A = this chain, B = another copy of it.
Amino acid sequence: MTALLGIDYGGTHTKLLLAGADGDPAATRRRTVPSASAAGLDGLAREVEAFLGGSSVAAFGVTVPGTLDVESGVVGHSANLPWLDGLAPATLLGERIGAPGVAVQDGVAAAIAEARSGAGRGHDDIFVVALGTGIAGAHVVRGEVRRGAHGGAGEVGHTDVGGDLPCSCGQRGCLETLIGGAQLGRRWRERLGSEGGDAASAVDVVRAARGGDAAAIAVLDDATSALARALLTISALIDPALFVIGGGLARSPEWTVDPAVAKARSGATFHRLPDVVPAGLGVWAGAQGAALSAADLVLTG
């Protein structure tokens, strides 16, 4: 029995994926459950047991939406699944599943999957950017994420792009203050002069821009200029061979990724700005990356 289990443990939905020994996404079985029914590791274990229906797996990977100590597998802080704080989910789940497991940060898992099975397939040196509520990144070389000396590398959302807006991380001027989904809606409402009232989402901003709303267009223009500066900084410091850009905002590329790439190309001087391609795996990237991490666990013992 060499099946591998990938668990993408998210804030609203949890995705379960059963794959072949090499983590190949073809011929996999998949299930999405509301995270409410997988609340707490006990709830998650019950959902996994129901999904597996008594069959065994060689190993599993589980994503964590938060900070993680890579050596110990202990979660530092998860804003969306706060009951994980201080726990080692792979160890605890492993006792229930009866197989070895590994915990992986959600962005890292998605980047591994995009690099090995998605848009980066066939390329050795890829920088993956996920434009979501926050902005995540990962440099993947020959299928392995470069995590840095303390597991903190790839935080493209907190590179300096020259603004003065306060970021949730405590700094000012981070990329995330201008293009993070959480901030786009806020910037738009501020421009409209309506600071109170309902929060606007990034989807609302893009829809308004499509309708010709000048404030939305201006906010997105600032956002894509900031992303362009971040892509140039990554090229200058890391010089990857390919950018893969995904996440919710990348689904409207004509308002987000395309203008950012055009601005980066026109702003490049000495840089070797590489090709930029859209992510290919969509919402299952995290679960596939978890299954691929399980495959690594089996291979490395």
In angstroms, Cα B233 to Cα A169, docked, is 13
Given the interface pairs A173-B162, A270-B158, the reply to whether A151 lies near B239 with Cβ below 8 Å is yes
Shortest CB-to-CB span from A141 to chain B, Å, is 9
Q: Cβ of A169 and Cβ of B237 under 8 Å apart? A: no
* Complex interface: chain B residues within 8 A of A163 (CB): 162
**Interface members, chain A 122-169 (any B CB < 8 Å):** 124-125, 137, 139, 146-156, 158-163, 169
Q: What string of 1s and 0s marks CB contacts (under 8 Å) between A218-234 and chain B? A: 00000000000110111
In angstroms, Cα B237 to Cα A146, docked, is 10
Q: Cβ of A237 and Cβ of B155 under 8 Å apart? A: yes
* Complex interface: chain B residues within 8 A of A125 (CB): 148-149
Q: Cβ of B233 and Cβ of A150 under 8 Å apart? A: no
In angstroms, Cα B149 to Cα A274, docked, is 9
Q: Which of B155, B234, B237 contacts A270 (CB 8 A)?
A: B155
A267 at the interface (CB under 8 A from B): yes
Nearest residue in B to A125 (C-beta to C-beta)? B149
Q: Cβ of B153 and Cβ of A239 under 8 Å apart? A: yes
A-B contact pairs, 29 of them (CB 8 A): A124-B149, A125-B148, A137-B237, A146-B238, A147-B239, A148-B238, A148-B239, A148-B240, A148-B272, A149-B241, A149-B272, A150-B274, A152-B270, A153-B238, A155-B237, A158-B270, A159-B160, A160-B161, A160-B162, A160-B230, A160-B233, A162-B162, A162-B163, A162-B173, A170-B269, A170-B270, A171-B269, A233-B237, A237-B237
